[in-house]
């Protein structure tokens, strides 16, 4: 093995699916012609993660899989996206980014925030409102979403170095060769003709590869992940001032942990939670007033809701609701 990329590692011999590259290419092409991931994720499952999820799913096949239970302290889930668009047709999904870092193998015609074209990448927490992607032709992505706080330990980097960063997992540098970054098996980062069209087989390969990793002690990152979970799902966590009561830790302690392990502040996590909640409800068909929606999601009033929503999404909540495409 040779360590590559920002802390991740790898050069491996052979194709991760086994057999020659030519044979695996034939299998991949056949899977594109005859199958999509099943069971597929539905619009309700990804609402709050992708803007206008029904429109997104009309252009791509999407699936998620849970990791082996032994990987649960570090890995949240695996995800797979595949598309095959006619000539002249493109799609530009906008994703509300997750707090954790994603390790991805991407191939085909894809352009996205931070990089263009195929490759293997680690994408850290994104502090911009959305993560924009351009899809054309044929392509796919197989991804591993790590829990919040895990990546900085895995890569041996300060959390702030991963914030708003897209790191190639195929490039070496003097720092990585001499650093203490952890190794992740190469089958996750070297093969461009990815596995997005066969979610079950790829999830099994991810499990096999990741179970061979000498993972760091999950203790510190588990605490951060638990705090994030409480803040994101407790309806009382509406402001930085109320975080102490929700988490059981002082606001200063939570701020320190987030800065150290996430590279973002509590205020940003709360803002992201409000936005995702509002987008999810609108995409699922919220029919109440927008004033009610603002209050339910944690905004002080309708005007603050409208201003922040437009600032982050680019349109007002009412315009977003009008543009919604139902399944």
Highest average pLDDT, of 16-30, 189-203, 211-225, comes from 211-225
Place of tokens 């493109």: 90
Categorize the per-residue pLDDT at 230 as very low, low, confident or very high, splitting at 50, 70 and 90: confident
What is the C-alpha separation between 321 and 280, in angstroms, rounded? 11
Contact call for residues 231 and 241 (beta carbons, < 8 A) = no
pLDDT at 91 over 70: yes
Q: In order of start, what are the domains of the chain with their CATH numbers?
A: 3-210 (no CATH), 219-323 (1.10.10.60)
Contact call for residues 291 and 284 (beta carbons, < 8 A) = no
Ranges of H-type helices in 21-109? 21-34, 43-46, 53-57
pTM: 0.78
Percent of the chain's residues with pLDDT above 90: 20
Q: Which of 182, 1, 165, 2 is nearest to 74 (CA)?
A: 182
pLDDT at 164 over 50: yes
pLDDT at 163 over 50: yes
Helix (H) or strand (E) holding 313: helix 302-313
Say which residues have a Cβ less than 8 Å from residue 56's Cβ, sequence separation at least 6.
46, 50, 62, 91, 93
* Mean pLDDT over the full length of the chain: 75
Among 67-76, 176-185, 209-218, 301-310, the range scoring the smallest mean pLDDT is 176-185
Place of tokens 């491996």: 12
Q: Which of 183, 176, 174, 131 is nearest to 157 (CA)?
A: 176
pLDDT at 88 over 60: yes
Would you state the structure tokens that stand for residue 46, as one six-digit string? 């990804």
Q: Residue 197 has what pLDDT? A: 54
* Residue 295 Ramachandran class (φ > 0 left, ψ -120 to 50 alpha, else beta): alpha
Q: What would you report as the CA-atom Rg of the chain, rounded to the nearest whole angstrom?
A: 20
What is the C-alpha separation between 176 and 10, in angstroms, rounded? 11
Q: Residue 187 has what pLDDT? A: 52
82 secondary structure, DSSP code:
E
Q: Residue 3 has what pLDDT? A: 30
Contact call for residues 275 and 96 (beta carbons, < 8 A) = yes
Contact call for residues 46 and 98 (beta carbons, < 8 A) = no
């Amino acid at each position: 093995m040779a360590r590559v990329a920002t802390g991740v590692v790898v050069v491996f011999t052979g194709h991760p699916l086994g057999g020659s590259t030519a044979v695996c290419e034939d299998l991949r092409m056949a899977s594109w012609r005859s199958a999509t991931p099943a069971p597929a994720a539905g619009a309700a499952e990804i609402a709050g993660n992708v803007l206008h999820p029904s429109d997104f799913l009309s252009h791509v096949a999407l699936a998620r899989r849970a990791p082996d239970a032994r990987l649960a302290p570090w890995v949240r889930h695996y995800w797979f996206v595949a598309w095959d668009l006619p000539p002249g047709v493109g799609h530009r999904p906008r994703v509300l980014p997750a707090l954790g870092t994603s390790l991805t193998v991407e191939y085909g015609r894809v352009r996205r925030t931070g990089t263009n074209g195929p490759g293997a990448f680690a994408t850290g927490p994104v502090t911009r409102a959305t993560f924009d992607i351009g899809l054309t032709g044929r392509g796919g992505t197989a991804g591993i979403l790590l829990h919040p706080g895990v990546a900085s330990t895995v890569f041996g980097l300060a959390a702030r170095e991963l914030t708003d960063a897209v790191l190639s997992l195929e490039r070496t540098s003097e720092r990585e060769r001499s650093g203490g970054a952890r190794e992740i098996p190469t089958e996750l980062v070297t093969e461009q003709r990815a596995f997005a069209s066969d979610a079950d087989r790829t999830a099994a390969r991810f499990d096999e590869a990741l179970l061979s990793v000498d993972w760091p002690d999950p203790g510190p990152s588990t605490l951060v992940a638990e705090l994030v979970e409480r803040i994101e799902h407790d309806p009382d966590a509406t402001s930085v001032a109320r975080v102490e009561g929700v988490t059981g830790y002082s606001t200063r302690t939570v701020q320190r942990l987030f800065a150290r392990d996430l590279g973002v502040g509590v205020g940003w996590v709360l803002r992201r939670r409000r936005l995702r909640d509002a987008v999810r409800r609108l995409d699922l068909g919220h029919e109440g007033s927008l004033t009610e929606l603002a209050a339910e999601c944690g905004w002080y009033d309708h005007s603050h809701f409208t201003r922040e929503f437009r600032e982050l999404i680019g349109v007002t909540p009412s315009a977003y609701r009008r543009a919604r495409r139902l399944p």
